Amino acid sequence: MSLENRAAIVTGGSSGIGRGICLELAREGARVVVADIQEEPKQGIYHEQDLVSSTVSEIKKIGADAFFVQLDVADEGAVASLITTTTERFGGLDILVNNAGIHIPGTTETMPSADWDRVVGINLRALFLTSKYAIPHLKRSRAGRIINIASIHAFGGGGGPAYASAKAGVVNMTRNVAIELGAASVTANAICPGYIETPIQDYLTTEQIEWCREKTPLPRLGRPRDIGRACVFFASDDAEWITGTSLTVDGGWTASVG
- Which segments of 107-175 are extended strands (E)? 145-149
Which CATH number do you get for residue 58? 3.40.50.720
3-class DSSP assignment, residue 73? coil
Q: Whose CA is closest to 247, among 162, 177, 155?
A: 155
The pLDDT tens digits of the residues spanning 240-252 come to 999 999 999 999 9
In a domain, 63, yes or no: yes
In a domain, 245, yes or no: yes
In a domain, 98, yes or no: yes
Q: How much of the chain exceeds pLDDT 90, in percent?
A: 86
Q: What is the reported pTM?
A: 0.96
Across 223-238, average pLDDT: 98
Across 151-163, average pLDDT: 90
In a domain, 29, yes or no: yes
In a domain, 258, yes or no: no
Whether 202 shows a pLDDT value over 90: the answer reads: no
Q: Which residues are catalytic?
A: 163
3-class DSSP assignment, residue 102? coil
The pLDDT tens digits of the residues spanning 76-126 come to 999 999 999 999 999 999 999 999 999 998 999 999 999 999 999 999 999
- CA–CA distance, 102 with 18 (Å, rounded to integer): 12
In a domain, 187, yes or no: yes
In a domain, 176, yes or no: yes
Domain that holds residue 46: 7-253
Across 206-215, average pLDDT: 91
In a domain, 2, yes or no: no
- Which segments of the chain are extended strands (E)? 7-11, 31-36, 66-70, 95-98, 145-149, 187-193, 246-249
Whether 49 shows a pLDDT value over 80: the answer reads: no
- CA–CA distance, 24 with 17 (Å, rounded to integer): 11
Q: Which of 57 and 48 is assigned the larger pLDDT?
A: 57
Overall number of domains in the chain: 1
What backbone phi and psi angles, to 5 degrees, belong to 47?
-130, 150
